[in-house]
Amino acid sequence: MILDELRRELRRVCADGGLGDEPVSVSARALSPEQAIGRPGQDDYPIVKGRERMVEAELRGARGQAFTDSPGGFDGTLDEVLRLPLDDNVRRAVFLSVANATARHLGLAERTAHCKDADLLECASRLPEFVAAGHPGVKRVFLVGLQPRFAEALAARYEVRITDMDAGNVGALKGGVRVEPADAAADCLRWCDLGLATGSTMANGTADRLLASGKPVVFYGVSCAAAAALVGLARYCPLGR
């Protein structure tokens, strides 16, 4: 499992970085939509609609964030986080946010806090060129998790399918593409040339199925910052902070 790999690497870099079993205090808290993404000018983002929340951890002044549909707080030591059972969305989000803060503190990961305001539109506008440069043969893109601006930007250049776990989004049109239910993911993976997945798939436990598909997958956003840096996953997050 990808989170087990991340945990092993995190333990290693903590030891290498002089943290080891030192009782470093960490805390995790859920942010409001404005704290997380500012005022992007549109109200159809999952965090604005209330489907997801951003959990933020801080370790020695370094911030790390992770999206989740099950936000929960935590206050304890780094060692306690490294021993958390990663068996539900609450614990996985805490683990990811702390992993991101730790990797940021150690200088191993960048852009571990979400971009804000107009940067969300700029991020989406850069995405098609990112895909074209890194995957020049791609014609079909599977967007895992509805990110409305990404859907619109990609649909102008590629064939796109979208799935989302929020039943309220299923059937909606974004960029002319109808959002499909989460159980269509397997068919979408067979169909696509490239998967573009929200990093919150790591918090909800579905990332392993994407990685096992054999298709190239790029994770986007802040949730996957430490995993991209320490485990070598492909990531898109040009404007994170």
What are the structural domains of the chain? Answer: 2-105 (no CATH), 119-236 (3.40.50.11590)
Structure tokens at 57: 């951890």
- Per-residue pLDDT for 126 more than 50? yes
Question: What is the Cα–Cα distance from 79 to 25, expressed in whole angstroms?
Answer: 9
Question: What pLDDT sits at residue 220?
Answer: 96
Residue 51 banded pLDDT, cuts 50, 70, 90: low
> What does the mean pLDDT of the chain come to?
88
Phi, psi of 13 (to 5 degrees): -70, -30
Q: For residue range 79-110, list pLDDT tens digits in order.
A: 889 999 999 998 999 999 999 999 999 999 99
Residue 69 banded pLDDT, cuts 50, 70, 90: confident
Other beta carbons within 10 angstroms of residue 146's beta carbon come to 24
Alpha-carbon torsion, ordered 197, 221, 179, 118, to 10 deg:
-150
Which residue in the block uniquely carries the two structure tokens 């490239």? 194
Question: What is the Cα–Cα distance from 145 to 26, expressed in whole angstroms?
Answer: 29
Query: pTM of the entire structure?
Result: 0.89
The three-state (H, E, C) secondary structure of 132-182, written as one string: HHHCCCCCEEEEECCCHHHHHHHHCCCEEEEEECCCCCCCCEECCEEEEEH
Helix runs in the chain, H state only: 2-16, 33-37, 46-49, 78-82, 89-105, 119-134, 148-155, 185-191, 207-211, 225-231
Q: For residue range 142-178, list pLDDT tens digits in order.
A: 999 999 999 999 999 999 999 998 888 899 998 899 9
Residue 40 banded pLDDT, cuts 50, 70, 90: low
Alpha-carbon torsion, ordered 232, 235, 239, 241, to 10 deg:
-40
Answer whether 2's CB lies under 8 Å from 227's CB: yes
Answer whether 68's CB lies under 8 Å from 203's CB: yes
Percent of the chain with pLDDT over 70: 86
